[in-house]
Amino acid sequence: MNKFKETLGYALGFVLFVVLIPVIMWLCSCRPVLTEVSAVQVVIALLLAVAGLVLSIWAIIYMRRVGDGNPMDAFGHEVAPRTKRLMTDGPYRLSRNPMLTGIFVYLIGCCLWLWTWQSAVVFLVFVAIMLVQVRTEETRLRRDFGKEYEEYCKKVGRFCPSGYGHRECVFGFPKSLQVEHDRKRSIILLRGAEILYNKTSGLFQQKCLEFYHQ
């Protein structure tokens, strides 16, 4: 049963993060032709995507071997067996969430390749959702590992290479700036959603008029 849950966790993670999100970006961008981009843009996008996937795979392998668990945990619900040991070395010296950091870098590469505002909005919404997931997971880790995890948090940030002493780090921001950072992020997400709604509704009205005049 555990083997099946592990396989399910890896499969869900691959489908969701590596396949589904980029496909959603592409569909929301009105399905642009992927070959109509500059060579420089392609090279940079591929470098980011490959680097992100390498970091994520490294984190998964390390988690499997050292943490003795699976990375797939959905908002406090155990999809696959959770890690039994706290990981602080390897890729976890760089970030408390190296697998997710790698996925972010991978998706930034996808955004660069597509080069549309719609893909950027999808990415920002995904980041916001994942931040909720990360904070839920942190509650579980504090409960499971207690002071050991608290000490680890002081040294390593959520996504950045190093923390700020006793302050948390979110994308390089110390705790004193988290509230302002979250407020600005929320405004950006709302503005992006508003633009997406206006664009899609306008496109829908245009298509309806074209159909009516046919």
What are 88-123's pLDDT values in tens digits? 999 999 999 999 999 999 999 999 999 999 999 999
Amino acid 136 reads: T
**Could you tell me how far CA 51 lies from the centroid of its own chain?**
14
Which residues lie closer than 8 Å to 179 by C-beta, 6 or more apart? none
pLDDT at 64 (0 to 100)? 81
pLDDT at 12 (0 to 100)? 82
**Contact call for residues 170 and 157 (beta carbons, < 8 A):** yes
Cα distance between residue 168 and residue 1, in whole Å: 37
| 87-13-113-116 Cα dihedral, nearest 10 degrees | -110
> Architecture of 2-75+85-213 per CATH?
Up-down Bundle (1.20)
- pTM score, whole prediction: 0.72
Q: Which residues of the chain have pLDDT under 70?
A: 1-6, 67-82, 162-214
118: left (phi over 0), alpha (psi -120 to 50) or beta: alpha
pLDDT at 70 (0 to 100)? 59
Cα distance between residue 112 and residue 118, in whole Å: 12
Cα distance between residue 132 and residue 118, in whole Å: 22
pLDDT at 160 (0 to 100)? 79
Q: Looking at residue 167, what DSSP letter applies? A: B
pLDDT at 213 (0 to 100)? 60
In percent, how much of the chain has pLDDT > 70?
64
**Contact call for residues 41 and 115 (beta carbons, < 8 A):** yes
**Contact call for residues 155 and 164 (beta carbons, < 8 A):** no
3-state secondary structure of 194: helix
